[in-house]
Amino acid sequence: MIISKMPPEEARSFAMKAMELRKMGYVGLSLLILSGLYLMSPYWRILPDTPLLIAKLLLVVVLVGLISVMSKAGDKFRAGDFSQMKLIRPLGRIALIVTILIVILAVGVFH
């Protein structure tokens, strides 16, 4: 990532500002979950027969967990504990992979 090529001071101030963007991510994820719960209404009954759908829903739970850990680490980072970046960066990569898996599973189930 470009941030790892910046001088440390600049990287910190950039990361602080970039973290403001996370609020947009929370709104997006909340909308996906709300619309998903509504779209699920005809499918709850067949859920036990659709392992891919179960896997997708479990991964959404994992994603929410990852994001809440990252959010707590982000709060500490903003309070001055810059070592939190070591946690946030790998978790961010895992969250991206989990999100891609969720989309692949959703398309696998519904297409």
| Minimum distance from residue 76 beta carbon to ligand HEM (Å) | 25
Work out whether 107 is an interface residue with ligand HEM (CB under 6 A). Answer: yes
- Work out whether 110 is an interface residue with ligand HEM (CB under 6 A): yes
Q: Please, what is the minimum distance in Å from the beta carbon of residue 60 to ligand HEM?
A: 4
CB-based burial, 82-109: b 16+ in 10 Å, e otherwise: eebbebbeeeeeebeebbeebeebbeee
> Which residues of this chain interact with ligand HEM, rule CB under 6 A?
29, 32-33, 36-37, 39-40, 43, 57, 60, 63, 99, 102-103, 106-107, 110-111
